[in-house]
Amino acid sequence: MKRSSKPELPKAGKRAGGNAPRFDLRSELYRISGIDLTRIDGINVMNAQTIIAEIGLDMSRWPSEAHFASWLGLCPDNKITGAKSIVATAAT
């Protein structure tokens, strides 16, 4: 089978966000969790749904939204020594 280097175009009739819910998921997530995770920069309703599904409803582990965003890895690492910024790399 020959592979093409061209990216495939979306099929006619397909719309972006085809997996997006057709109801107000944000208010339902707020109802069951008591907090609005979508207020955190970078978190939309689909991310919030995944987060709640993966870690559950106990958000008391994090004292603030900033701590939670840091735990998710959304905050940059700011290690600085002298005048140089040290970039953290994953060990291979």
Q: What is the band of 27 on the pLDDT scale with cuts at 50, 70, 90?
A: very high
Answer yes or no: is 37 within a domain.
yes
* 17 belongs to a structural domain: no
Residue 92 lies in a domain: no
Asked whether residue 6 is assigned to any structural domain, the reply reads no
**Which residue range(s) make up the domain with 51?**
25-85
Asked, for residue 81, whether it belongs to a domain, the answer is: yes
75 versus 13: the higher-pLDDT residue is: 75
Find the helix packing angle between 25-33 and 45-55, rounded to 10°.
30
- Distance between CA atoms of residues 26 and 13, nearest Å: 26
Q: Mean pLDDT throughout 16-41?
A: 83
Residue 45 included in any domain: yes
Alpha-carbon span 19 to 82, nearest angstrom = 48
Conformational region of residue 73, where left means phi above 0, alpha means psi within -120 to 50, and beta covers everything else: left
Q: Which helix (H) or strand (E) holds 65?
A: helix 65-72
Across the range 33-41, mean pLDDT stands at 86
Is pTM beyond 0.75 here? Answer: no
